[in-house]
A and B are shown apart, each in its own frame.
Chain A
Amino acid sequence: SAVISQKPSRDICQRGTSLTIQCQVDSQVTMMFWYRQQPGQSLTLIATANQGSEATYESGFVIDKFPISRPNLTFSTLTVSNMSPEDSSIYLCSATQGWKEKLFFGSGTQLSVL
């Protein structure tokens, strides 16, 4: 199993600023993902964080808005850039240790943009 530490757990930010969310896994994982969960909604996949290369983004998400890094097998960051109130959501880091196996999740970052 894997334990994922995600921080910050919550933040309140001003419009136009950026926030970087960190995700640290306590063991090696094969794949890392970032999800967004808008209030009362299900999870939407933002991107797959690829080690040492550019992340793979899903439709509707772009690198300029959500730059992602994954410098090694156990660490990744997601930046929410030039924030607007529409970015207010829970952002979740997740990882898997196998192919098409279960996901482990961080505890999430609850972001509010004023």
Chain B
Amino acid sequence: SQQGEEDPQALSIQEGENATMNCSYKTSINNLQWYRQNSGRGLVHLILIRSNEREKHSGRLRVTLDTSKKSSSLLITASRAADTASYFCATEWDSSYKLIFGSGTRLLVRP
């Protein structure tokens, strides 16, 4: 089964609102990563947060990590129509080098 599960599966918001997506995982990790995918094409890396970090920012993105709950959240502030995409969290699998992707959240930002 997948390492990460995300919720919600789909999210529809108005431009300018904030979007929050959550990711839960099962095993211990060294880091957790978030990716964006537009229209079923290649993924783009957004941000990496290490297991000893609790929060990280990059532009309009804010990621939190709670290793005790094995969960992470991605917050996109002041959303834009161009943020419409699928967002995936990714973690290691069995402490190996392999990245396993969560189920994804489909975000729709309405103009």
Contact = CB atoms under 8 A, between A and B. Distances in A.
By secondary structure, the B interface counts as strand
A37 B99 CA distance: 14
B32 to A, nearest CB: 11
Interface in A59-94: 90, 92, 94
A6 to B, nearest CB: 8
A31 interface: yes
B102 to A, nearest CB: 6
A31 B97 contact: yes
* Among A31, A105, A107, residue most surrounded by chain B Cβ atoms (within 10 Å): A105
Contacts of B14: none
Interface residues of A, number: 24
Contacts of B90: 103
Contacts of B31: 100
Interface stretch (B40-48, B53-61, B63-71, B75-83): B40-48
Contacts of B25: none
Contacts of B103: 42
Contacts of B35: 103
Nearest to B44: A105
Given A42-B104, A43-B88, A100-B30, A106 B42 contact: yes
Contacts of B42: 4, 6, 92, 105-108
Interface of A: 4, 6, 31, 33, 35, 37, 42-43, 45, 48, 90, 92, 94, 99-108, 110
18 contacts: A31-B97, A33-B98, A35-B101, A42-B2, A43-B43, A43-B88, A43-B101, A45-B93, A48-B98, A92-B43, A94-B43, A103-B45, A103-B90, A103-B99, A104-B45, A106-B42, A108-B40, A108-B41
Interface of B: 2, 30-31, 33, 35, 40-45, 48, 88, 90, 92-93, 97-104
Given A42-B104, A45-B98, 12 more contacts: A35-B101, A37-B40, A45-B93, A48-B97, A92-B42, A92-B43, A100-B31, A102-B45, A102-B48, A103-B45, A105-B44, A107-B41
